[in-house]
């Protein structure tokens, strides 16, 4: 049994996990493909990963991982006040990579049952026992996605090189900036090697970023992976596509380790305490 299979009281390092929300200005730009592959790539880092399908109307995570949704977040709703992390673990689906999944409701009309208190509670309970909770979200800024973005520690904003994608990504980024979330956003340029009027290397500057993750355009690999429900990082690990996702996973883990090492700024109380103990 690997560490990722065990259900313990805490994430592997005993700290609250990190909420990573993958979002995009529109559908069809590769969010789901990114989420499942990034999540599976992270399981290889000996950390505990849970994937939450936050596209509560039309989520594809179960399909993309070839999982049978025995339970979904809709089942959690009915018991939300009494829910604790042990009860919640009974609603998670196990994937053979070690990943756990909380699936979206089986019908779009059930999405309205997922109220803000449910999202809050579910995320907090998951973060208390997993190192990373990766969320796939509905495109654009519907209320559910906005709440997830607000709660996120890190946001991966996926775009392609298409003019409409870039225009809408820019609008979405402007809104998120006004809301004060700009600092936690990383840009992911998907299908970066595709032929296009706009070059991938120009996109970060256009969107106001210094850097970005570049994911190659490999339609056959990605669509086959989504269709058969096997992430390409599992069976095409040597491809440039998989390597790009492994690199992203590496960066996320390293970044977290570095921020854990940084000394926290002294709190007011700590400063007072230091002054009194010197006196």
Report yes or no: 12 and 47 within 8 Å, Cβ to Cβ. yes
Report the distance separating Cα 21 and Cα 71, nearest Å: 22
Q: Does 191 bind ligand ADP (CB under 6 A)?
A: yes
DSSP strand pairing (132-137 vs 49-54): parallel
Cβ proximity to Mg ion: between 32 and 43 the closer is: 32
Query: Which one of 31, 48, 74, 95 is in contact with ligand ADP (CB under 6 A)?
Result: 31
**CA distances, 176 to each of 25, 90, 149, 150 (Å):** 11, 35, 9, 9
Query: Which one of 4, 18, 25, 32 is in contact with Mg ion (CB under 5 A)?
Result: 32
Cβ proximity to ligand ADP: between 127 and 215 the closer is: 215
DSSP strand pairing (154-159 vs 185-189): parallel
Q: Does 160 bind Mg ion (CB under 5 A)?
A: no
Stretch that binds ligand ADP, among 72-80, 109-117, 220-228, 271-279 (CB under 6 A): 220-228
Cβ proximity to ligand ADP: between 29 and 253 the closer is: 29
Q: Does 72 bind ligand ADP (CB under 6 A)?
A: no
Cβ proximity to ligand ADP: between 98 and 216 the closer is: 216
Report the distance separating Cα 114 and Cα 41, nearest Å: 29
Instruction: Order across the sheet with 154-159: list the strands.
Output: 93-94, 100-102, 49-54, 132-137, 18-24, 154-159, 185-189, 213-214
Q: Does 222 bind ligand ADP (CB under 6 A)?
A: yes
Tokens of 249: 């996973």
Report yes or no: 25 and 163 within 8 Å, Cβ to Cβ. no
Question: Least distance (Å) from ligand ADP to the CB of residue 15?
Answer: 30
Cβ proximity to ligand ADP: between 97 and 225 the closer is: 225
Cβ proximity to ligand ADP: between 30 and 231 the closer is: 30
Question: Least distance (Å) from ligand ADP to the CB of residue 164?
Answer: 13
Q: Does 159 bind ligand ADP (CB under 6 A)?
A: no
Query: Which one of 119, 146, 226, 242 is in contact with ligand ADP (CB under 6 A)?
Result: 226
SS3 83: coil
Angle formed by the axes of helices 143-151 and 116-127, nearest 10°: 30
Query: Which one of 2, 223, 254, 259 is in contact with ligand ADP (CB under 6 A)?
Result: 223
Q: Does 147 bind Mg ion (CB under 5 A)?
A: no
Burial of 257: CB neighbours in 10 Å, binned 0-12, 13-18, 19+: exposed
Query: Which one of 17, 19, 21, 24 is in contact with ligand ADP (CB under 6 A)?
Result: 24
DSSP strand pairing (185-189 vs 93-94): unpaired
| Residues lying near ligand ADP in the complex (CB under 6 A) | 24, 27-33, 190-191, 215, 217-219, 222-223, 226
């Amino acid at each position: 049994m690997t560490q990722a299979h065990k259900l313990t009281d805490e994430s592997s390092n005993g700290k609250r996990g990190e909420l990573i929300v993958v979002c995009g200005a529109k559908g069809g730009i590769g969010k789901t493909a990114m989420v499942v592959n990034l999540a599976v790539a992270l399981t290889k880092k000996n950390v505990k990963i849970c994937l939450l399908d936050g596209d509560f109307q039309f989520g594809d995570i179960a399909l993309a991982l070839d999982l049978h949704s025995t339970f979904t977040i809709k089942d959690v709703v009915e018991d939300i006040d009494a829910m604790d992390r042990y009860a919640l673990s009974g609603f998670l689906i196990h994937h053979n990579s070690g990943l756990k999944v909380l699936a979206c409701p089986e019908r779009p009309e059930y999405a309205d049952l997922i109220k803000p208190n449910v999202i809050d509670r579910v995320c907090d309970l998951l973060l208390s026992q997993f190192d990373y909770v990766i969320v796939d979200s509905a495109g654009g800024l519907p209320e559910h996605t906005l709440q997830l973005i607000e709660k996120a520690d890190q946001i991966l904003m996926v775009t392609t090189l298409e003019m409409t994608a870039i225009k809408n990504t820019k609008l979405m980024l402007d809104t998120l900036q006004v809301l004060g979330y700009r600092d936690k956003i990383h840009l992911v340029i998907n299908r970066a090697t595709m032929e296009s009027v706009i070059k991938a290397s120009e996109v970060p500057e256009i969107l106001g970023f210094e850097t970005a993750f570049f994911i190659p355009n490999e339609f056959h690999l990605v669509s086959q992976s989504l269709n058969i429900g096997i992430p390409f990082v599992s069976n095409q690990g040597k491809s440039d596509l998989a390597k790009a996702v492994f690199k992203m996973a590496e960066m996320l883990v390293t970044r977290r380790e570095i921020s854990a090492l940084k000394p926290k700024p002294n709190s007011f109380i700590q400063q007072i305490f230091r002054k009194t103990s010197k006196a």
